[in-house]
Amino acid sequence: MAGQIRDFTPGDATPEDSIVIFGAGDVAQLTHYALRALGLDVAYVCDPLLAEAGGTLCGTEVIPPGALASLDPGTTCVIDAWDHTRYARQPALLDRFPRVHFSVSLLRGTDFSGPRAPVLPGERERRITHYANQCQALLARSAQVRLRSLDVVVTEACTMRCVDCSNLMQYYAHPRHSDLDELHTALERLMAAVDGVDEFRVLGGEPFANPRFGRTVDLLTSVAEAERVVVYTNGTIVPRDANLASLAHPKVLVKITDYGGLSVRHDALAETLTRQGVNWLSQKPTWTDSGRIGPVERTRAELERTFRDCCVNDLVTLLNGRLYLCPFSANAMNLGALPDAPDDVIDLRTERPADELRELISTLYRRSGPLTACSFCRGRDHTTPTIEPAVQVRRPLPLIVLSERTDR
């Protein structure tokens, strides 16, 4: 498929064609909108998870991949709009179609300022940029090791204690701030071994709880190869002085998760960020039931699917000097709750030759089989039930330690 696929231009389809969008995430919604703006109808959206759940996308029927076999290759134009790295290109499904496209130029050339445009305005450019970078890497078939994003954890502490936090903050009985000297050394070693990181995500816990988080933001904005530094906050703390100044860099976007009355400093934070000239956006959260640690009985095939369909299986996480493939794996291992899994983590506290570290990172990032954590996670995909967000508990949840750890 990679030899046939190319960027979509308006002349590549007519109103008589049957257009199929392959994928059902944010990029698919944006592509749907862009095609309609050209006067082109979308016949189907193809997505294995949403089809299984019986859903629609932007009012268009969602079909499973197996239904592609019934479509006429001569009149079908497929636009590959997967915006999730690992569960993306499936060439065996699309090889029979001579017209397979990306929608990068289409999205870049569309005016999304209308009131019905999908995806939050502050998120659109991020999604399109991620998608464009993935498409470029696929077409280049290069040996580059470039991470889509890197979660940089600056603290285990949080100002809220949500019983269903998917980053497992509810289990930390004695949370600590990250050792920033150790963190920065790990970052320097990582960046020397890879070709770049599209986006850094600064989080915790609550990152503003670390009184020196601005040091890390300043370091990340200085990385020339990174396009964006996103700082996630729950709206309970208003940073000051050097910490606040670090957020005013043009690469920085502060994302406030609005938990209503629990986000007690939301408005004050928004006003302060605006006054300081900081890019920010606020949004209400949607949570899935994926925030508990415990054994889950699955067959090997079910484990493979749990990993393949997970929406965070490429959110590489740097926590306390160690690199993990997903935030659940990172925090569960950091808590000492999981069996020892050396292949699931890279210790950046130990210096290695850059070539050796590069190979380790490449192997972890391009991993196709499940993590040890997949046997203790409820899963996180489009079929995972949604739950009420930010239900608070007074005390940390009891932690069932499933293995002994000696490095904690």
Can you tell me the distance from the alpha carbon of 233 to that of 255, in angstroms, rounded to the nearest whole number? Answer: 6
What share of the chain in percent tops pLDDT 90?
A: 68
Residue 282: beta bridge partners? 256
pLDDT at 138: 67
Query: Above 80 in pLDDT, residue 128?
Result: yes
Domains delineated in the chain: 6-140 (3.40.50.20), 146-387 (3.20.20.70)
Q: What CA–CA distance (Å, rounded) separates 138 from 89?
A: 9
Nearest alpha carbon to residue 148 among 65, 59, 83: 83
Mean pLDDT, range 287-313, rounded to an integer:
91
**pTM attached to this predicted model:** 0.84
Q: Do the beta carbons of residue 101 and residue 78 sit within 8 Å?
A: yes
Residue (of 21, 150, 141) closest to 82 by Cα position? 21
Location of structure tokens 């960027």: 7
Q: Rounded to whole angstroms, how far apart are CA atoms 292 and 191? A: 32
CB 160, CB 236: distance < 8 Å: yes
- Give the pLDDT confidence of 358-391 residue by residue, as tens digits: 999 999 998 889 999 999 999 988 778 889 999 9
The reported pLDDT for the residue numbered 227 is 85
Q: Strand, coil or helix: what is 321?
A: coil
pLDDT at 141: 58
pLDDT at 143 over 70: yes
pLDDT at 233 over 90: yes
Contact 232, 261 (CB under 8 A): no
Residue spans of beta strands (DSSP E) within 97-221: 100-102, 146-147, 150-153, 196-197, 199-203
- Residue 405's pLDDT band (cuts 50, 70, 90): very low
The overall average pLDDT reported for the chain is 90
Identify the band that residue 140 occupies on the pLDDT scale cut at 50, 70 and 90: low
- Tracing tokens 């970078």 back to the chain, one arrives at 133
Give the pLDDT confidence of 10-31 residue by residue, as tens digits: 899 999 999 999 988 899 999 9
pLDDT score recorded for residue 174: 96
